Amino acid sequence: MDTLTHALAGALLARATAPREQRPDALPTGRRIVVGAAAAAFPDIDFVTSYMTPLSYLYHHRGVTHSILLLPVWAALVALIFAALWRFRPGWRAYFGIAAMAIGSHIAADLITSFGTMIFAPLSDARYALSVTFIIDLWFTGIILAGLAASLAWRRSRAPAVAALALLTGYVGFQWLMQQQAIDFGRDYAARAGMRQAKVTAVPRPVSPFNWTVIVEEGSRYRYAHVNLVRETVPPAPDAHTGFIARLDAPYRPLRDAEWLQAGLYGGSDQESAFARLAFSQPAFRFFRWFAAYPALVSVESDNPGPCAWFEDLRFITPGRGGTPFQYGMCRESDGTWQPFQRVGTSLRAVY
C-alpha cells in the first residue's frame, strides 16, 4: 500500500478509537489523529535502505519495520518521540496505544497486497502476502477519505470513522471473495486443459476489484490470463486519446473471452532452456529466487555485457503500464564469471 494511504488509514483509526469523553490523561483528539497518521506511515521509513545498495530495497523493504515481533519497539519509539515534542505532557504511555494500533494497521494493509511482508523479521525473512488488494487501490483510499471527510463534518461523533472502518473491512472481504471467484475460474480452465497437478492463484490488478490476473502453474510452466469477473464485452483497444485509468482497465477481458498466455521459468528451446537453468541456479542470483513468487524467463540475449538470461516475476506484469519492474538477469562475462544485473527501462545496472 502507498504511504499516503497508510497515513490516512492511521488518522481514521485514531478518530474511530478516540474516547467518547475527554479524560485528563488522554490525548486530545486532534493530537491523537496526528500521532495515528505519523505512526501508520512510520514503517515505510525503510525506504532509506534503497540508497544503500541496488538490492537493499528487495532485502529490507517490508522487513524489520513491518514486523509484528518488533511492533511494540517501534510503537514505543514513536510514542517517545511525540511525548518529547509535547514535553511529556502526558507521558509516552498515553501515545503508545494509538501508535501500536496505527503501526499494526500499516502491517495489515501491506499484508493484503501481493508484494510480500516479512512479518516475522528478523527471525525469518519469509514473505507473506494475501494478495487480495492491489498496491494502489483507489477504492480503498476513497473509503478512507470519505470517512475522514465525514468525521470532519461531524466532529463530535466518531460514528463516521467507525462506519468507514467497517466499510473498509467489508471491502477487503469482498475482494477476497472476488479472488476466490477468479481462482475457481482458473481451476475450471486447468481441469479442462488436463492440468491435474496445477496450482492456481489470482493476483489483484489496478482500477477495479474485478480485475485479476489468474495464474495456473504446473511445474516450471505458467499459463495466465488478465480477466474482469463481471465484464460482458471486450473493451476497445486504447488509442492516443485513451485516459490513464481507462488504459490500465482495458486489458482485462470477460471470462468467456479470456486470452491465456504462456510463460516458463526456463523458456522454450533446448539451448535457451539450458542457459536459463544455468543462469537461474547461480549463487549470485539467490536474491531473485528468494524474492520472486512466479519467476519467469523474459529472454536470453547475447548482447553486452555478455550472454544474459533475463527474468521477471509475473506478480508485477501490469498491462497498460510501460514495462515491468523488478526485472533481473544473470550475465556470463568473457572470463566465465557471472554477474547479476537489473534492467530499468532500457538501461542496465550491476547489482550486488
- Which of 130, 146, 162 finishes a domain? 130
In 100-178, beta strands by DSSP E:
none
The predicted pLDDT at position 275 comes to: 93
pTM to 2 decimal places: 0.93
Domains: count for the chain: 3
Q: In terms of domains, do 85 and 8 share one?
A: yes
- Cβ-in-10-Å burial (0-12, 13-18, 19+) of 242 comes to middle
The predicted pLDDT at position 23 comes to: 72
Residue 95 CA to residue 302 CA, distance in Å, equals 58
Handedness of CA 210, 41, 109, 35 (dihedral sign): negative
The predicted pLDDT at position 24 comes to: 67
Q: In terms of domains, do 52 and 125 share one?
A: yes
The predicted pLDDT at position 45 comes to: 95
Q: Answer yes or no: is 164 within a domain.
A: no
Identify the three-state secondary structure at position 173.
helix
Count CA within 13 A, CB hemisphere, residue 218.
Answer: 15
Residue 36 CA to residue 62 CA, distance in Å, equals 19
Residue 220 CA to residue 82 CA, distance in Å, equals 51
Residue 172 CA to residue 275 CA, distance in Å, equals 42
- Which of 220, 243, 263 finishes a domain? 263
Q: Regarding beta strands 347-350 and 308-313, do their DSSP bridges make them parallel or antiparallel, or are they unpaired?
A: unpaired
Q: In terms of domains, do 194 and 109 share one?
A: no
pLDDT averaged per 10 residues, the chain (length 352): 97 94 80 97 91 85 96 98 91 94 98 96 96 96 98 93 98 98 98 93 97 96 97 89 90 96 87 92 96 95 83 93 88 89 81 80
Q: In terms of domains, do 37 and 88 share one?
A: yes
Using alpha carbons, select from 306, 311, 301, 303 the residue that is nearest to residue 331.
306
82 near 35, Cβ under 8 Å?
yes
Q: Answer yes or no: is 196 within a domain.
A: yes
Q: In terms of domains, do 126 and 182 share one?
A: no
Q: In terms of domains, do 199 and 308 share one?
A: no
> What domain range includes position 204?
177-263
Length of the chain: 352
Set of cell numbers at residue 313? 516475476
Q: Answer yes or no: is 149 within a domain.
A: no
CA angle 136, 137, 143 (to 5 degrees): 135
Q: In terms of domains, do 11 and 112 share one?
A: yes
209 near 228, Cβ under 8 Å?
no
Return the residue matching grid coordinates 486519446. Answer: 241
238 near 274, Cβ under 8 Å?
no
Q: In terms of domains, do 31 and 50 share one?
A: yes
298 near 272, Cβ under 8 Å?
no
Q: In terms of domains, do 182 and 105 share one?
A: no
Element (H, E) at 244: helix 244-249
Q: In terms of domains, do 124 and 12 share one?
A: yes
Q: In terms of domains, do 29 and 53 share one?
A: yes
Return the residue matching grid coordinates 494509538. Answer: 98
Residue 131 CA to residue 345 CA, distance in Å, equals 26
Q: Answer yes or no: is 66 within a domain.
A: yes
In 95-161, beta strands by DSSP E:
none
Residue 74 CA to residue 41 CA, distance in Å, equals 12
Q: Answer yes or no: is 150 within a domain.
A: no
Q: In terms of domains, do 241 and 300 share one?
A: no
The predicted pLDDT at position 272 comes to: 86
Hey, what amino acid is at 198? A
Residue 47 CB contacts under 8 Å (≥ 6 apart), including other chains: 57, 61
The predicted pLDDT at position 304 comes to: 66
Q: Answer yes or no: is 189 within a domain.
A: yes
Q: Answer yes or no: is 162 within a domain.
A: no
Residue 104 CA to residue 98 CA, distance in Å, equals 10
Q: Answer yes or no: is 229 within a domain.
A: yes
Question: Euclidean distance between the first and final Cα of the chain, in Å?
Answer: 27
Contacts 24+ apart (CB under 8 A), 80-87: 82/31, 82/35, 82/38, 86/31
